[in-house]
Chain A
């Protein structure tokens, strides 16, 4: 894996998007973590265990498997290459790039709201 995923940050970002009414995609911690792992493993096959390493604290095995099937596979974000093994597609990488921009937006909003909060 090229770099570690900051699960705590991803959780905060997802919570923020949920708080503004975006419950799916950027506001879904499972979606975020799965896509992050897939992006990090873009040059090789992502094993189901690679994803579960991050998602076990948020969801059970079944719901992650179901999410991969119903969202990632169905929308063509990943390609199943073997049993329990997936490869991210170009569309998936595009979604990962969008996810990055949602993190940037969150950081920008958070920084500004912190400043405003400290203003008397």
Chain B
């Protein structure tokens, strides 16, 4: 019992720290981005902050379960439901803005998701949750409601996922352009990874599935971090630098090359 819950605590803590650090580093490097990409950048910062804010009470919840304090466990579960309900808001803004480039339309659509999220919270608090059921690996709550709330929740998550897949599809269809896989595709895959496994984490009544989902959320966070701050091995493999242009030879190499051309 102790080992499994400890592992769960470590995973939740790692997700919290890595996502909050990622959000902080992204925000700190905001000046490096162009004016056009800034709205999407702030949406990303908000998204990763919300992921961190979701897993911070979850970490405390797991510690409470480990220490045998069900009241704190329940309070933290109810607190973590708040950021969880609004996690799709910055994501929808991000995808809409990247796809259509209109800030106002993106704001309106994400505001709709904010209303959906708020009504989910209303439903959630009015129905309550059954639990905690502490197992070897985790502490499980089940929403005390019929299937409607689950379907509602899936709606809240499936639309943004479909948007991400649509954007990825668009990128693959436009295969005539050299896309920096590392900088464009990898963050999207990471976000959809994190987003979908957070949903699985919250709705599953099975502890093994929950812990597996958390591992995947952690993998997604690391993946997103590597996409924006690539390591040498990624640079070599995917030509991963800050943008597409940097795949070209640098100025000194170019001058040398130009000198060698016989006119």
A81 beta carbon closer than 8 Å to chain B = no
Specify which chain B residues have a CB less than 8 angstroms from the CB of A118 in the assembled complex: 36-37, 40, 97-98, 101
Q: Kindly identify which residue among B34, B99, B176 contacts A115, using a CB–CB cutoff of 8 Å.
A: B99
With most chain B CB atoms within 10 A of its CB, the pick from A105, A112, A115, A120 is A120
By the criterion CB–CB under 8 Å, are B99 and A120 in contact? no
Is A117 within 8 A of B170, CB to CB?
Answer: no
* CA gap between A119 and B90 in the complex, in Å: 14
Minimum distance in angstroms from A112 CB to a CB of chain B: 4
User: Is B50 interfacial (CB 8 A cutoff)?
Assistant: no
Query: Residue B26 contacts which of A111, A112, A120 (CB distance < 8 angstroms)?
Result: A120
Say how far A43's CB is from chain B's closest CB, in angstroms: 34
Query: Are the C-beta atoms of A117 and B37 separated by less than 8 Å?
Result: yes
Name B29-44 residues within 8 Å CB distance of A.
33-34, 36-38, 40-41, 44
- B60 touches A (CB below 8 Å): no
Chain B's closest residue to A117 (CB) is B36
Question: Does B249 touch A at the CB level, under 8 Å?
Answer: no
- The answer to whether the Cβ of A108 comes within 8 Å of any Cβ in the partner chain is yes
Q: Give B29's nearest chain A residue, CB to CB.
A: A120
Min CB–CB distance A120 → chain B (angstroms) = 4
CB-defined contacts of B26 to chain A, threshold 8 Å = 120
Number of interface residues of A (CB under 8 A): 13
* C-alpha gap A112/B171 in the complex (Å): 7
Residues of B within 8 A of A108 (CB): 174, 176
Shortest C-beta distance, B22 to chain A (Å), equals 12
- Cα distance, A115 to B173, chains bound together (Å): 14
- Residues 145-173 of B contacting A (Cβ, < 8 Å): 167, 170-171
* A111 closest partner in B (C-beta): B174
A contact patch SS = helix
Is the pair B101, A120 in contact by a Cβ cutoff of 8 Å? no
Q: Which of B12-20, B107-115, B177-185, B203-211 contacts A (4 or more CB under 8 A)?
A: B177-185
Q: Is the Cβ of B177 less than 8 Å from the Cβ of A120?
A: no
Chain B residues whose CB sits within 8 angstroms of the CB of A112 once the complex forms: 170-171, 174, 177, 179
8 Å CB contact of A120 from B37, B174, B179, B244: B37
Contact partners of B33 in chain A: CB under 8 A: 120
CA distance in complex: A43, B14 (Å):
71
The complex places the Cα of A112 from the Cα of B26 at a distance, in Å, of 23
Asked if A109 CB lies within 8 Å of chain B CBs, one says yes
Decide if A114 is an interface residue (CB 8 Å cutoff): yes
User: How many Å lie between the Cα of A76 and that of B164 in the bound state?
Assistant: 49
Contact of A119 among B98, B170, B174, B177 (CB under 8 A): B98
Are the CB atoms of B176 and A119 closer together than 8 Å?
Answer: no
Q: CA–CA, A106 to B108, complex, Å?
A: 30
Q: Evaluate contact between B177 and A113: CB separation under 8 angstroms.
A: yes
Q: Which of chain A's residues have a CB closer than 8 A to the CB of B179? A: 112, 116
- In the assembled complex, the Cα of A115 lies from the Cα of B177 at a distance in Å of 12
Closest chain A CB from B68 CB (angstroms): 44
Q: Residue on B with the closest CB to A105? A: B176
Distance of A81 from chain B, by nearest CB (Å): 39
Closest to B244 in A: A116
Q: How far is the CA of A109 from the CA of B179 in the complex (A)?
A: 11
- Interface contact B101-A114, CB-CB below 8 Å: yes
Known: A115-B171, A116-B180, A120-B38. 6 other contacts (CB 8 A): A115-B99, A115-B167, A118-B36, A118-B40, A119-B183, A120-B40
Residues of A within 8 A of B (CB): 105, 108-109, 111-120
Question: 6 closest A-B pairs (Cβ-Cβ)?
Answer: A120-B41, A112-B174, A120-B37, A118-B98, A120-B40, A120-B33
